Structure 1
Amino acid sequence: MSESPPRREPAPVRHFTRIIDVALAVVTTAFFVAVAQATGIHNPWAGANPLALLLGALLLFRRRRPMTVLLLSIAGIFAYRLTGGVSPAGWIWPAAVAYFTAATTPRVRWVAAIGLAQLVYSAVDFRRVLDTNVPRYVIHVAGEGLLLAVLIAAGLTYAAVMRWRERLRETDSRARAAEERLRVSHEVHDIIAHTLAVVGVQLNVAADTLQEDPAAAAAALQLAKDVRNRAMTDLRSLIAVLRDAPGDTAPQPDLASLGALIADARAAGLRVTLDEHGDPASVPAASAIAVYRVVQESLANTLKHAEAGTAGITIGYGPRAITVEVADDGRVTPGGAPVVEGHGLAGMRERVEALGGTLTAGPVPGGFAVRADIPVARSTP
Structure 2
Amino acid sequence: MCGGRRVPRLRWMETTARPVLRSRVWPIAGGLVAALVLGLATLGVGRPVEALAVLLGATAVAAGVLAWALVRSRRERRAFEDDLTGWAAERAAQAERLRIARDLHDLASHGLGLITVRAASARTVPGPGGDAERARALADIERAGRDATTELRRMLTVLRGPGDEVPLRPAETLADLPRVVATARGAGLDVALDAEEVVASAGVGLCVCTVVREALANVLRHAGQTRASVVLGRDAEGLRLVVEDDGPVVGWEPHQGAGMGLAGLRERVESLGGSLVAGPSSRGFRVTVVLPDPAPPAAGLLGRAQS
- The TM-score normalised by the length of structure 1 is 0.56
Give the 3 Å change call, closer, same or farther, for CA 210–161 of structure 1 in structure 2.
farther
Q: CA deviation at 1:303?
A: 0.2
Distance of 1:348 and 1:277 partners within structure 2: 22
Q: 1:319, 1:376 within 8 Å by CA — same for their partners in 2?
A: no
Amino acid at match of 1:169: T
Amino acid at match of 1:271: D
Across the aligned residues of Structure 1 and Structure 2, the Cα RMSD in angstroms comes to 3.0
Q: 1:194, 1:299 within 8 Å by CA — same for their partners in 2?
A: no
Q: 1:322, 1:375 within 8 Å by CA — same for their partners in 2?
A: yes
C-alpha deviations, 1:25-53, integer Å up to 9, x for none? xxxxxxxxxxxxxxxxxxxxxxxxxxxxx
Distance of 2:243 and 2:64 partners within structure 1: 72
Distance of 1:145 and 1:264 partners within structure 2: 81
**Which residue among 329, 350, 360 is the counterpart of 2:246?**
329
Give the 3 Å change call, closer, same or farther, for CA 224–196 of structure 1 in structure 2.
same
**Which residue among 245, 252, 258 is the counterpart of 2:171?**
252
Q: 2:173, 2:205 within 8 Å by CA — same for their partners in 1?
A: yes
For 1:300, the equivalent position in structure 2 comes to 217
Higher relative contact order (CA 8 A, sep 6+): 2
For 1:345, the equivalent position in structure 2 comes to 262
**Residue 356 (structure 1) aligned with residue 273 (structure 2):** yes
Amino acid at match of 1:270: L
Q: CA deviation at 1:235?
A: 2.3
**Residue 365 (structure 1) aligned with residue 282 (structure 2):** yes
For 1:188, the equivalent position in structure 2 comes to 104
Q: CA deviation at 1:246?
A: 5.1
Give the 3 Å change call, closer, same or farther, for CA 378–288 of structure 1 in structure 2.
closer
Give the 3 Å change call, closer, same or farther, for CA 320–170 of structure 1 in structure 2.
farther
Query: Per the alignment, in what secondary structure is the counterpart of residue 196 of structure 2?
Result: strand
Query: Per the alignment, in what secondary structure is the counterpart of residue 273 of structure 2?
Result: coil
Q: CA deviation at 1:371?
A: 0.3
1:1-381 equivalences under 5 Å are 133-208=49-124, 212=128, 214-241=131-158, 243=159, 245=161, 248=164, 249-280=168-199, 283-318=200-235, 321-331=238-248, 342-376=259-293
In terms of fraction of residues, the more helix-rich structure is: 1
C-alpha deviations, 1:125-147, integer Å up to 9, x for none? xxxxxx98222122223212211
Q: 1:356, 1:375 within 8 Å by CA — same for their partners in 2?
A: yes
Q: CA deviation at 1:326?
A: 0.2
Q: 1:197, 1:304 within 8 Å by CA — same for their partners in 2?
A: yes
Q: CA deviation at 1:209?
A: 6.2
Query: Per the alignment, in what secondary structure is the counterpart of residue 365 of structure 1?
Result: coil
Q: 1:210, 1:217 within 8 Å by CA — same for their partners in 2?
A: no
Q: 2:237, 2:290 within 8 Å by CA — same for their partners in 1?
A: no
Distance of 1:245 and 1:180 partners within structure 2: 13
Q: 1:198, 1:264 within 8 Å by CA — same for their partners in 2?
A: no
C-alpha deviations, 1:284-323, integer Å up to 9, x for none? 2322222122111110110010235211101124575221
Q: Which runs of 5+ in 2 are unaligned?
A: 1-46, 250-256, 297-307
**% same residue:** 33
Distance of 1:174 and 1:344 partners within structure 2: 26
- The TM-score normalised by the length of structure 2 is 0.68
Q: CA deviation at 1:270?
A: 0.9
Give the 3 Å change call, closer, same or farther, for CA 354–372 of structure 1 in structure 2.
same
C-alpha deviations, 1:134-173, integer Å up to 9, x for none? 2212222321221122122112112212221222122122
Q: 1:308, 1:329 within 8 Å by CA — same for their partners in 2?
A: no
Which shows bigger deviation, 366-375 or 191-200?
Answer: 191-200
Larger Rg: 1
Q: CA deviation at 1:233?
A: 1.5
Which shows bigger deviation, 204-213 or 156-165?
Answer: 204-213
Distance of 2:198 and 2:258 partners within structure 1: 32
Query: Per the alignment, in what secondary structure is the counterpart of residue 267 of structure 2?
Result: helix
Distance of 2:107 and 2:287 partners within structure 1: 18
Query: Per the alignment, in what secondary structure is the counterpart of residue 274 of structure 1?
Result: strand
C-alpha deviations, 1:217-262, integer Å up to 9, x for none? 3332122111111122222222444x36256554333323323321
Number of residue pairs the alignment of both structures matches: 239
Q: 1:316, 1:322 within 8 Å by CA — same for their partners in 2?
A: yes
Q: CA deviation at 1:211?
A: 9.8
Distance of 1:197 and 1:319 partners within structure 2: 36
Distance of 2:177 and 2:75 partners within structure 1: 54
